[in-house]
Each structure stands twice: as C-alpha cells, then as structure tokens.
Amino acid sequence: MNDHHISRRQRAHEQAIRMQAQGGRVKVLSKTDEPGKIQRLLVLTAAAVLVAGSLLYVTESRAAGAGVHLESPRIDQSNDKSLQRGAAAFVNYCMACHTAGYQRYSRLAQDVGLSEEDVEKNLIFTTDKLGEPTKVGSLMTNNMTTDYGKQAFGVVPPNLSLTARSRGVDWIYTYLKSYYVDPEKATTGVNNLVYPDTAMPHVLWDLQGLQSPVYGEEAHGSRPITGLELTQEGSMSPDEYDDLVADITNFMAYVSDPIKETRHRVGMWVMLFLFGLLGVTYLLKKEYWKDVV
C-alpha cells in the first residue's frame, strides 16, 4: 500500500508511536475510541433505516389506496365458518381466473375444520390434465394458461396466495367493494376506485348490484368522485355483500399465512413455559445464594 492510501489518522497514529518511542509525551488516539464510534455509527444507521422505512411505508400505503380511504374488515382467522364461506366463494367466483397456487385442498380441509370428502364434493370444481377431477392433495390451481389469460385480459390474473400480504386485507376488502359503472371502459364496463383501470371485471356484480359514482365540486377542470351509490340492486343486501367480501378477505388472509393460528397458540404455551421457568430459576437462585449473603 503506498502513502497515498494510508489515512491521515493512521499516519498520525504511527507518528505518535514513533514519538513515544523517542520519549515524547503525545496523546495517542486510544483504541477504545473506536468501538464507541462504531456503536454510534450503528445506532445512527439503524435510526436512519427506521425513519426511511416508515416514510416508505406511509407513501406506499397512500399509493396503494390512491387517495381512497381503505376500510378495515372485521375478520378473524380462527373463525372456521367464515373461512369455509370464504373458501366456497373463492372457488366459485375467483378460481376461474385466479389460483391460490401455494395452498393444498387437503391442508385447507384440515385447517378450516372440514373433512377431505366435504372438500372434494363441495369445493373442487377443476379437473387435472387428464380430465379427472382434481385430487384433494393437489394445489389450488386452475387450467387457465398464461397465454390465454394475457389474451383475454391483457394481464395474467395473478396467483392470489400472498396478495393479503402484499396488498393488505384492507386493500382487498375495499377493492371488492369499490367497483363502479364506467362506460368508458369498453372491455369490462366498470372501473375501480381502489385500483383504477383494473383489468379485472366486477365478477360479483350480480350479488352486489351496480354502483355509480357520486361527483363532488368541480376542481381543476374535473369533478372528483366523492363516493359510490348503489343504482341497481343485486341479489344481496349491502350488509350481506359486505359480510361475503369480508369472508373472502378472511380466506385470502388465511391462505397468505396458514400457520398463523398455530403460531399464536404455540406462542402462548412457550410464553407460559418461560414464565414458569423464570419462577423456578428465581427460587433456585435464592437457594444457591442463601448461605452466601
């Protein structure tokens, strides 16, 4: 390494050592300064990452809603009935286009309290490559090819296994409630407040009915949409529709994290065990030290 690459401090340090050897009294940069500095640097970096992270999170959640207020569904992943209804709606209304490709039917049966026969009879509508009914041990996929999806919708309907994590449950819930009639959309005839210009048709329109936009005051040459109103009733009341969408959202949340309930249950036992162990260890410590102090 040539002189050019040696830092100033290193040179000062070497000079100090030389002078010390010659009997001079110079304060050498002590080695213990280094860890302190590194620690401070680490703390600063961690703080910067946290601040940047929270800023990113804020912009991301705003971008996701595109300024639309996202509603939070009241969902409960331990509610088997809700998951069963959600799964039934999902296989009936969504799986023609989408898959839950990381989830097996058999695992679903086990987790939501159904027998494999129930699932086979009521939830499997697809066939495998040989034309046989899909087996209960299979993944929840469909037969739509990527090419067909692209041709039909312009984008391939995505695998929804992890969407509850990437978009969040509030986004999915509000998305399924925010379709409105938009004659400018030649292909689907509808648009969506949460996901403007989405290629997905309003597949639940016969249940929800059709909503039309309510416009606010004109500003900057256009009139913003301030809300949606039901202009053509569907077969469900608005409350029933909200419940159905909440069940579908709950099911998607389950699929994105099937082990969550087990994790929470095991977590409780682990915490209880640790507290118990704390008691025992404390008593042991008292026993050990009773003759010493």
The answer to whether residue 204 forms part of the interface with ligand HEC (CB under 6 A) is yes
Residue 98 marked in a binding site: yes
CB of 47 to ligand HEC, least distance (A): 32
Distance of CA 224 to the CA centre of its chain: 29
Count of residues that interact with ligand HEC, criterion CB under 6 A: 22
Which member of 124, 199, 225, 236 binds ligand HEC (CB under 6 A)?
199
Q: Of the ranges 23-31, 118-126, 167-175, 272-280, which one interacts with ligand HEC (CB under 6 A)?
A: 167-175
CA distance 52 to 36: 24
Q: Of the ranges 72-80, 93-101, 116-124, 235-243, which one interacts with ligand HEC (CB under 6 A)?
A: 93-101
Helix (H) or strand (E) holding 225: strand 225-233
16 or 126: whose CB is closer to ligand HEC? 126
The answer to whether residue 73 forms part of the interface with ligand HEC (CB under 6 A) is no
Residue 220 marked in a binding site: no
140 or 200: whose CB is closer to ligand HEC? 200
The answer to whether residue 248 forms part of the interface with ligand HEC (CB under 6 A) is yes
Window 116 to 155, contacts with ligand HEC (CB under 6 A): 153, 155
16 or 236: whose CB is closer to ligand HEC? 236
Distance of CA 20 to the CA centre of its chain: 61
Q: Give me the numbers of helices (H) and strands (E) for the chain, helices first please.
A: 11, 6
CA distance 216 to 103: 44
- CB distance 108 to 140 below 8 Å: yes
CA distance 214 to 180: 10
Question: Which residue, 94, 202, 172, 71, is CA-closest to 140?
Answer: 94
CB of 121 to ligand HEC, least distance (A): 21
Question: 1 is written with which tokens?
Answer: 């390494």
Backbone angles phi, psi at 79, to 5 degrees: -85, 95
16 or 152: whose CB is closer to ligand HEC? 152
How far CA 59 is from CA of 51, 54, 64, 163, 213, in Å, comes to 13, 9, 9, 19, 26
- CB distance 226 to 69 below 8 Å: no
Query: Which residues are known binding-site members for heme c?
Result: 94, 97-98
Judged by the rule CB under 6 A, the positions of this chain that interact with ligand HEC are: 93-94, 96-98, 153, 155, 157-158, 160, 163, 166-167, 172, 175, 198-201, 203-204, 248
